[in-house]
Chains A and B, each alone.
With several copies, the nearest count.
Chain A
Amino acid sequence: MALNQVELGHTNELPGQDREAIVIPSRTKEMALKAGLGLTLILAMTFIALPVVSLFVKSPLDATLRSLYDPVVMDALKLSLMTSTLTTLTVVLMGTPIAYVNARFHYFGRDIADSLIDLPVIMPPAVAGIALLMAFGRMGILGHYLNAFGFGIAFTTLAVIIAQVFVSSPFYIRQAKTSFEDVDTAFEDAARTLGASRVYTFFHVILPIASNGLISGAIMAFARSLGEFGATIMFAGNFQGRTQTMPLAIYTAMQGDLNVSLCLAIILVIISFVVIALVKMLTRRVYKNVRD
């Protein structure tokens, strides 16, 4: 019942203490609660915002703008956006069925499979990169065979995507699974009796109802892959235009000048912020249409 939403600014409209205080016994409590919540919010937001703001304050903004014209930066930016987008698509396409199956079906080894999914998050990124090399590199357990067919993965743009998928998929899958679990099975039942197959039900009923969580998970995965550094540089190398994403370009610039690298970081942060905010706005509109 969207109507019942109570606005935070609500009791500000209540009369002063002097007038009708007796009618609203919980008013002081309510005020205290709001003050407390507001304070927590402000403190927490400060904690998160302050480092970001510091980055902006302490770096020369004109230099930031100038570095946008650097072809190295343009290459890295394009590569970052391209690979992160492809990564997010892959994660969503691959992760959605996994999340759904793990949420709704019991099969042998489900708990192990479910926990396995979290492992890439625990591995420090460079270790993840080494693990990927050991699996898909030229000498790797699988890469070894692929290489026999002349198919090398490591140190290519594909490797960037693989590293990002490996590192960011858990964030999507976990949230998607929770969202699927929280969809009432009654809707599924209703759809089935109305002649919808499992697949039709999934796409027309379950997916839209779970969409809020799925979108949020996809944004997390996108953000994580935009910031991915350790696994990428280990598994894909640091080749300008081919595997040098923004985080790698930032690292490389750091060898020469901290300032330049911070400028790049600011560019990455601003552009990602804009992209994510746009995605949110767009999906909120869709979601509103879907939900309200």
Chain B
Amino acid sequence: MLEIDVEKQLRDFKLEVKIEVAEGEILMLVGDNGCGKTTLLNLVAGLISPDSGRIALDGRPLYDSAFRISVAPEVRNIGYVFQSYALFPHMSVYDNVAFGLRTRKLSEQEIEFLVKDHLEAAGLWEIRRAKAGSISGGQKQRVALARALIIEPRLLLLDEPLSALDVRKQAAMRRDLREKIHSCGVPSIIVTHDLRDVACIGDRACLIEKGKIALSGEADDVIGWGAIANSDVIKPKDSTV
């Protein structure tokens, strides 16, 4: 279980969030641009420090201002898809995806097996040798996803992970993501602006407004939320997807 209860003063407002995400639960974060979703993920990942509060995973603190604990990001065991991907520009697609396995000192054989598996599933095997800077935007996003999922993390943080995927990949990925997370049972937070993502992937959803949780509930409730009502989204009729 992931427990978050943090405060952080940002440039324009104060971020104050208290949420819990259970094992295998998928929490969808929605909210206006600049409301603090990415910042929240960065806090959980340990890339920035909260002003105060506590973050704990499975009962163990990752951050605790009371005890002055702050666990380094590299031992938090997180799968993080950055909003801007942050692919290593000097590495090939293959090496980007293999990176997290190499830091875990797997043998090259195991690495090759796993990477091949993930790259083929993502339709990236053909361009495995291309440098990460010379592939298309959607291909970059797929690499970022594969890179984060391959390490079988204890916690998933996905920042708009499907926004640049093509229609088919998007549909397939929604299905895959939900299955994968539920089967491996790690707490997951997914940021999105697409209410279909909320409906198709999420178990629970939170609406953030200016750094505070404004609404929270079942994923299926989202459409009814007034805060995002004037959207043109219609909930899929059947949930085969």
Contact = CB atoms under 8 A, between A and B. Distances in A.
Q: Do chains A and B touch in the complex (CB under 8 A)?
A: yes
Nearest to A22: B60
Contacts of A187: 86, 88-89
Given A3-B48, A20-B69, A193 B88 contact: no
Interface residues of B, number: 39
Interface residues of A, number: 38
B77 A195 contact: yes
A196 B99 contact: yes
Interface string B29-65: 0000000000000100111100000000000110000
B173 to A, nearest CB: 20
Contacts of B90: 208-209, 211, 290-291
B67 A189 contact: no
Contacts of A14: 68-70
Given A2-B134, A205-B88, A195 B100 contact: yes
Contacts of B104: 195
B27 interface: no
Nearest to B99: A194
Interface in B147-161: 147, 151
B89 A30 contact: no
A10 B47 CA distance: 13
A205 B132 CA distance: 13
Given A4-B47, A196-B99, A291-B131, A190 B74 contact: no
A283 B71 CA distance: 36
A191 B88 contact: yes
B76 interface: yes
B69 A23 contact: yes
B68 A15 contact: yes
Contacts of A211: 90
Contacts of A186: 82, 84, 86
B48 to A, nearest CB: 5
A191 B69 CA distance: 21
Contact of B48 (A4, A19, A201): A4
A197 B69 contact: no
A177 to B, nearest CB: 19
Contact of A195 (B61, B70, B82, B151): B151
Given A197-B103, A211-B90, 6 more contacts: A3-B48, A4-B42, A190-B82, A190-B88, A196-B99, A291-B131
The 9 A-B residue pairs with the shortest CB-CB distance in the complex, in nearest-first order: A194-B100, A190-B86, A195-B103, A192-B73, A193-B80, A186-B86, A208-B90, A196-B103, A290-B90
Interface of B: 42, 45-48, 60-61, 67-80, 82, 84, 86-91, 99-100, 102-104, 131, 133-134, 147, 151
Interface of A: 1-4, 10-11, 13-15, 19-20, 23-26, 30, 186-187, 189-198, 200-201, 204-205, 208-209, 211, 290-292
5 contacts: A1-B134, A191-B88, A195-B75, A291-B89, A291-B90
